[in-house]
Structure 1
């Protein structure tokens, strides 16, 4: 039997470490009965409250949903007066995961794991069509649509600036929500290209010409040979600029 309930909230911090931040205090009288045991109803309420504290990095509204799975039907749990839910070490309340349940007051102490699914529905950028590796993404390649952010562990790229101008790092199917790791920075110049070298320091800036000694990718390091023959390493700013921090 599955129980589910949705909670809506607006953003703040994301849930990468939520498993460590939820308060693990819970006490509930639990009695075996026909249908769903009382402690599972209480566990549902406890989880609903826990996921309401989840906040994404981006200020995007998410609609949270908690779905309880089933305990192994072969389990024969002894009656328990107090069942405590807890988050197993290393577990996150995100996507398909599990929750621990342990009997604290009963004839027989038991400890079981309940499968659960945490869903987080919100707006994301979704590809309109199939994209091949090496394709430079433009604004026209994706549209906004509601997806389950928690369907995968890697974070959603919620802002266009995170993927526009980037290169697809692998084949991406139509309907795929853009997530971290699916794109990489584009190469903006090749080894041998003429570039502008900008040396910056405290209160000064010097500009000179140079020749790229390696390919240039925005945000990454590249080697540049100056007119005087010196070879220095700087950070690629754009298609014709390398910055040297002094």
Structure 2
């Protein structure tokens, strides 16, 4: 047999052998539904201590992503992010093939919050009858909204508010414990001595604020307002 027919026969044999071999195995692909479920479970754990009814909605994953299967993908939040409102959750895989993706999600927290039931004037001491509990998604409201009337009653607003305004804790002043013109008990104590005298407040003050008072002898003194009409003075 000449060389050319021999080479042709060899090529045909190799082609037949290649056709008889099974194709190389493709790596298993990651199920997108399983990833979305991992994100949902992660956010449910993160929001377990929140009040009211928490709802988690996980966004779609780009179907063009071809991720290798991961036995234990790890969910995480970016620095500064939290499980509140619109957020982004990361998913990372370390083995067998490392990859990281980011998935959009929305966390809604429907609960009661405190709002003004009537117009409130600036500086007005707030009573329970002037408040109402409304229902809404707390994640769409400003930060620091009161969720319990006890957080608001007795305090005063820093601005006039119309009815239906959510009560923000950072816009409320503390309860007035000393009122202008009120007779107060001026107290001071130190090593080996204690002094108590009656005085009249020259201004309003919440607990812990400095207030000026006038003693019976006409002396003006600054002290720290305390509950029960007390003013502490350090000598």
TM-score by length of 1: 0.64
Contact 2:29 2:66 in 1 (8 A): no
Contact 2:30 2:66 in 1 (8 A): no
Structure 2, unmatched stretches of 5+, are 1-27
Report the Cα offset of residue 179 of structure 1: 2.8
Question: Larger % of strand: which?
Answer: 1
- Bigger drift between 153-162 and 80-89 goes to 153-162
- Whole-Å Cα distance in 1 between the matches of residues 160 and 100 of structure 2? 43
1:65 is matched with which residue? 55
2:65 is matched with which residue? 77
Report the Cα offset of residue 111 of structure 1: 3.3
Question: Larger % of helix: which?
Answer: 2
Higher relative contact order (CA 8 A, sep 6+): 1
**Could you say which structure has the larger radius of gyration?**
2
Assess, with a 3 A threshold, how the Cα gap between structure 1 residues 201 and 88 changes in structure 2: closer, same or farther: same
SS of 1:38's equivalent in the other structure is helix
Deviations 1:133-175 (A, max 9, x none): 3343222211223333343463342333321232222343433
SS of 2:69's equivalent in the other structure is strand
Assess, with a 3 A threshold, how the Cα gap between structure 1 residues 130 and 212 changes in structure 2: closer, same or farther: closer
Deviations 1:168-193 (A, max 9, x none): 22343433332311321366534xx4
- Counterparts in 2 of 1:77-226, with a 5 A limit? 77-82=65-70, 83-105=73-95, 109-152=98-141, 154-185=143-174, 189-190=179-180, 193=181, 195-199=183-187, 201=189, 206-212=195-201, 215-219=203-207, 220-226=209-215
- Whole-Å Cα distance in 1 between the matches of residues 141 and 133 of structure 2? 18
Structure 1, unmatched stretches of 5+, are 1-28, 56-60
Contact 2:142 2:168 in 1 (8 A): no
1:48 is matched with which residue? 44
- Whole-Å Cα distance in 2 between the matches of residues 212 and 135 of structure 1? 19
2:30 is matched with which residue? 31
- Whole-Å Cα distance in 1 between the matches of residues 29 and 116 of structure 2? 47
CA RMSD of aligned residues (A): 3.6
Assess, with a 3 A threshold, how the Cα gap between structure 1 residues 129 and 68 changes in structure 2: closer, same or farther: farther
Report the Cα offset of residue 234 of structure 1: 2.0
Deviations 1:67-113 (A, max 9, x none): 22346x6x953313223211222222233332122343476x54343
TM-score by length of 2: 0.66
- Whole-Å Cα distance in 2 between the matches of residues 102 and 216 of structure 1? 57
- Whole-Å Cα distance in 2 between the matches of residues 126 and 197 of structure 1? 36
